Amino acid sequence: MIQRNRSLTLLAVLTLLIALVVTFPARIAYQWISPPHVKLSGIQGTVWSGTAREFSTNGVYLRDLTWRMQPLQLFTGKAQYEISGSPVSGFFESDIALGLGGTLVMTDLSASVPLQMFAAAANVAGLSGTASLQFERLELVSGRATAMDGTLDVANLVVPRLGGASMGGYRAEFFTQNNGIVASIEDTDGVVDLAGSLQLNPDKSYAFLGQVVAKPNAPESLKRQIRSLPFANDRGQHELRVEGQY
């Protein structure tokens, strides 16, 4: 009888704990554990399933955010969610896992978003265009990318300091390596013939090295800037090197 009572007590405690997790208000959980760089407003529902009117982090903005926990992933020590949201235009869908130490891992990421969302993070005022993302994995620690595996396509790229006209389309394929993140970058229908590589280092420094040639339809101002670059070879290609911090 004593053993049976103990079993019933344990079952009652487990049931209570599960009920607390399932029904725990998302708004309170956000107040307790939200990282300083993440902002949510209009929060409804629970940590299990809910919505938020607005979400922003590092200049990235989404509306009508929804989430639903994948309960079996709790046994791996991570809280993993199916997430969807709406940028100013386009869409965003991903599975997101929250780990210890401010780690956020996105898998099966599919999105189409305005490039303006990344203007602040890239420190490029007036950046515009459309970014389409297909990533198998994107890992962030305290807002810094530590792993990226996937493809970024940019259409109708506009960089004001390179001229106000569209520079066309470009593609970057990202891969995670032991010494950081690397990407190969090329034009798809851009006004410049571009091929290069990008290195993102753990110390938040980056380096891009590429070869570029202006196409006939490139703006004259951009042609002049390219002609001012050093020659990379005897085929008329110029060397483009950009380094800095992100």
For residue 121, tell me if it sits in a domain: yes
Q: Report residue 202 as tokens.
A: 């753990």
**Assigned domain for 209 exists:** yes
d(CA 123, CA 209): 19
Reduced to 3 states (helix: H, G, I; strand: E, B; else coil), residue 3 is helix
**Which residues 6+ apart lie within 8 Å of 9 measured at CB?**
none
Strand pairing category for 60-69 and 192-200: unpaired
Domain membership flag for residue 1? no
* Residue of 225, 221, 223, 219 whose CA lies nearest to 242: 225
Name the 3-class secondary structure at 179: coil
Is residue 8 one of the residues assigned to a domain?
A: no
Q: Domain residues for 184?
A: 25-245
According to DSSP, residue 82 is labeled: E
Domain count of the fold of the chain? 1
pTM: 0.73
Per the domain annotation, does 11 fall within a domain? Answer: no
Does residue 197 sit within a domain? yes
Residue 191 within any structural domain of the chain: yes
Do the domain assignments include residue 18?
no
- The tens digit of pLDDT for each residue in 143-201 reads 678 999 999 999 999 888 777 788 899 999 999 998 889 999 999 999 999 999 999 98
Q: What is the pLDDT of residue 193?
A: 93
- The reported pLDDT for the residue numbered 198 is 94
